[in-house]
Structure 1
Amino acid sequence: MQSNNVESIGILLQRAICYSGYRDGHNPGLGIFPSYSQILEDLQLLAGDWQYLRLYDAGPHAHTVLEVIEREQLPFKVLLGMDLAAEVSNPNCPWDAYYPDHKLADNRRHNDTELQRVVRLANEYSEHVLAISIGNEASVDWTDHKVETHRLVHFAVQLKGQTQALVTFCENYVPWANGQLDELAKHVDFLSIHSYPLWESQSIEHALHFTQQNYYEVADRFSDKPVVITEAGWTTNANGHAFPAHFANERWQSDYCAQLLNWCEKDGILCFLFEAFDESWKGSDDPAEPEKHWGIFRLNRQPKPVVIRLQQPQLASIAKLSNNG
């Protein structure tokens, strides 16, 4: 067994996906969340093909997801998250990430409150919680919600002291690879990395190799820690502002996601595919904004071609077992 395989800390290798159930008209920033019945519909679509769900905060959406899982007895485990606000301004962010001192002070209080919120949720639904992430992309150079490493360490220590859950931090591969998060790595149970070949203008021919390089750059540096991919995927629409627009299409999404999960399943790597459903609230108002189109299901819950593609290996395995029986 690889020393950085998650099975070493009791996490089974299962199919995993990032889930945000926000439909047209929903917006977490405006406090408009999906209903119980809408989340139930989503989870029934995902059940069977996916066993782990990643959520991004401990707010009303996450609470309803866990409530649905428990009440409906759905077979999911959840990676919870903290929704961190900026504690320092970041001049390296390509968009506005300057905050006055009073706002940063408010944000620090928000983050302390978010810590207690995720603790309560994890303890209330402990049977269904796989792990907790301290935050999401809060230390990478371009983030607009930068939090210094010593505070991330503080959150990790608090979570480990107040819950029974495993603790991680979800971040782009670069801060893990360049030594920026070495101190934090000592305090988490496993490392969580993000890899997006498309955001770095990789074509489909090089995409999987790029992700493999990202993964092993971190895994080789931390050979004593399990390493999980908590975001990797492919959008199906783009406006050409960040990468060539023609790179974003359903065929390349299908190819990359199939290659990615086949590699991860073969090499024993837990990978959360990004993401389950398109989300129209994200990014700019441009309909071709790539942030809106990463789902393997469209906004109307109709599957994209990748869904059938990803079901095929699992169906083949089931058929093989049936024949052997």
Structure 2
Amino acid sequence: MNKLICIILLLFISCNQINTRNLVSKEMTAEKLLGNINYQAICYGGYRTQTRDIIPTVTELKEDMLILSAMNIKVIRTYNVHHNEIINLLKAISELKETDTNFEMYVMLGAWIDCKNAWTKENPIHDQESDRNAIEIDEAVRLANKYPTIIKVIAVGNEAMVKWATSYYVTPNIILKWVNYLQDLKKHGKLSKELWITSSDNFASWGGGDSEYHLEDLNKLIKAVDYISIHTYPMHDTHYNPVFWGIKENELQLKEKEKIDFAMLRARDYAISQYTSVVNYMKSIGVNKPVHIGETGWATLCNELYGKLGSKATDEYKAAQYYNLMRDWTNKIGISCFYFEAFDESWKDSANPSGSENHFGLINLQAQAKYMLWNAIDKGTFKGLTRNGKPITKTYNGDEKALWLDVKTPNKVLKN
């Protein structure tokens, strides 16, 4: 009889623990996640081949989620719902949560937004939208309602307003339309009131750059979103706007590593200045709400503008410096940084395997952790974990001298 009572008591306690964990999961909100140092964020795509026609399986996506979780990454950002990767990803996270009630992974779900005639032979019409947009938004709503304990943010568009995205950008009124639509669903109980709505875009698109973006529709959008998600890419500006990129006159006598370290500090400060410019613009129109970094990153290889024949920006040492500097800064001031990106993806520039877009990941397609994660390997962070059946090992076989053979010092001299 006593044994039976003990068994019943243990079952009662166990059920209560499960219910408590589920309650905690349900109560975790975007407001609590974003800026929380215990919930690091990253941009994620799990494609392993040179085409998005080959969708990662649930098993493959589980591998990735366990790797990221081991790194204390618990919030991931996706980009669209058109491809079935997101369906498999949400299944993978759900199954991991069922297996381990302590497992946590949350999603900033992207709904891709295009203008009319985007990606066609016709001229894009930037103040009219693609018919596909409504389908993206409807599917984002469906998924957010189906997976409320996982999806905590919907981002309307990705770099959808910045004018250098000439193939597809839209005017701010189109983003505003869909943000208002989602906010209205929240008001009427058709989406969780705790779900945050944003758009993730270049810092200039949020008013932090040229005054041509300072439109009334942008001001309305800033007031409509729950928070602002900005992109900043100093790496790209080592070519396009290299005011910060080079070696100062008073640094010329330093060792090569020291020269590069100072250059990377200036790259971080450049990113900070872009973040600050958005905050300042937001406040100038009487708004004060959270601003987080929706994307920033540094490629490790490039055979064009940013590589050895260009600005000499891309290698694993500089990428590691930038990663650590940005994590340290964003953690210190209490904002999220969705670092771009978790794993290399080769579909992004399939015609050019050495193109920078294929090499922004922290881990490459051979399951090798790049230099910024070598310490994590040494600590046993990835022990027992695999990607495509391969254990996570170090690039360059862990030989730092070999790595440094690929590190080049910028040759531009900056005035003090």
What TM-score results when the alignment is normalised by the length of structure 2? 0.67
1:146, distance to aligned residue in structure 2 (A): 1.2
Equivalent residue of 2:42, what SS? strand
Kindly indicate whether the alpha-carbon contact (under 8 Å) linking 1:237 and 1:245 is maintained by their aligned counterparts in 2. no
Contact 1:52 1:79 in 2 (8 A): yes
1:280 aligns with 2:346: yes
Partner Cα separation in structure 1 for residue 126 and residue 281 of structure 2? 36
| Aligned-pair CA distance for 1:272 | 0.6
Aligned match of 1:133: 155
- With over 3 angstroms needed to count, the CA separation of the structure-2 counterparts of 1:312 and 1:148, relative to structure 1, is farther
1:152-205 deviations in Å (ceiling 9; x for gaps): 111101122332221000001011124242221111000000011010014524
- Greater shift, 132-141 or 9-18, is seen at 9-18
Moved over 4 A (4+): 100-105, 309-313
Where do 1:144-155 residues align within 5 Å?
144-155=167-178
- 1:308 deviates by 3.4
Query: 1:86, CA displacement in angstroms?
Result: 2.4
Seen in structure 2, the aligned counterparts of structure 1 residues 88 and 310 have a Cα distance that, compared at 3 Å, is farther
Letter in 2 for 1:61: E
Matched, 1:19 2:44: yes
Distance 1:174 1:103, change over 3 A: closer
Shift of residue 301 of structure 1?
Answer: 2.2
Deviation at 1:284, TM superposition (A): 5.2
Give the equivalent residue in structure 2 for 1:200: 237
Q: What residue identity is the alignment partner of 2:136?
A: E
For structure 1, which runs of at least 5 residues remain unmatched after alignment? 1-6, 90-95, 316-325
C-alpha spacing 1:139/1:251, structure 2 compared with 1 (3 Å): same
**Residue 196 to residue 279, structure 1, CA distance change in 2 (3 Å):** same
2:126/2:169 contact within 8 Å kept:
no
Could you tell me how far 1:149 is from its partner in structure 2?
1.3
User: How far apart, CA to CA, are the structure 2 residues paired with 1:232 and 1:9?
Assistant: 21
Q: Distance in 2 between matches of 1:312 and 1:170?
A: 35
Q: Is this contact kept in 1: 2:41–2:76, CA < 8 A?
A: yes
Equivalents in 1 of 2:378, 2:154: separation in Å?
A: 31
Query: 1:302 and 1:115 mapped to 2: Cα distance?
Result: 36
The structure 1 residue matched to 2:77, chosen from 54, 58, 72, is 54
3-state DSSP of counterpart to 1:169: strand
Shift of 1:67: 1.1
Output the CA distance in 2 between the equivalents of 1:11 and 1:61: 24
Query: What is the CA–CA distance in structure 2 between the aligned matches of 1:23 and 1:228, rounded to whole Å?
Result: 29
Q: Number of aligned pairs?
A: 298
1:64 aligns with 2:88: yes
Matches within 5 A, 1:79-90: 79-87=108-116
Distance (whole Å) between structure 2 residues aligned to residue 8 and residue 36 of structure 1: 25
Checking the alignment, whether the CA contact within 8 Å between 1:8 and 1:226 is kept in structure 2 is no
Per-residue deviation, residues 289-323 of structure 1 (Å, max 9, x unmatched) = 0000000000122211112357999x9xxxxxxxx
Deviation at 1:246, TM superposition (A): 2.5
| Deviating more after overlay: 298-307 vs 270-279 | 298-307
Residue pair 1:191, 1:226 contacting (<8 A) in 2 also: yes
Q: Which residue is equivalent to 1:241?
A: 305
Partner SS state of residue 294, structure 2: strand
Q: What are structure 2's unaligned runs of at least 5 residues?
A: 1-28, 98-102, 186-190, 239-244, 246-262, 382-416
Aligned-partner Cα distance in 2 for 1:47–1:37: 15
Alpha carbons of structure 1 residues 283 and 8: separation in structure 2 relative to 1, 3 Å: closer
Alpha-carbon shift at residue 108 of structure 1 (Å): 2.1
Aligned equivalents of 1:311 and 1:72: distance in 2? 23
Residue 231 (str. 1) matches residue 271 (str. 2): no
Are the structure 2 counterparts of residues 100 and 212 from structure 1 closer, same or farther at C-alpha, using a change threshold of 3 Å? closer
Q: What's the CA shift for 1:103?
A: 12
Is the Cα contact below 8 Å between 1:97 and 1:145 reproduced in 2?
Answer: no
Of 275-284 and 130-139, deviating more is: 275-284
Whose Rg is larger? 2
Give me the whole-angstrom Cα distance separating, in 1, the residues matched to 2:268 and 2:378: 19
Aligned to 1:218: 278
- Percent of aligned positions with the same letter in both sequences? 29
2:184 pairs with 1:167:
no
Distance in 2 between residues matched to 1:140 and 1:189, nearest whole Å? 20
Classify the secondary structure of the residue corresponding to 1:230: strand
Q: How far apart in 1 are the matches of 2:229 and 2:303?
A: 29
Aligned to 1:3: none
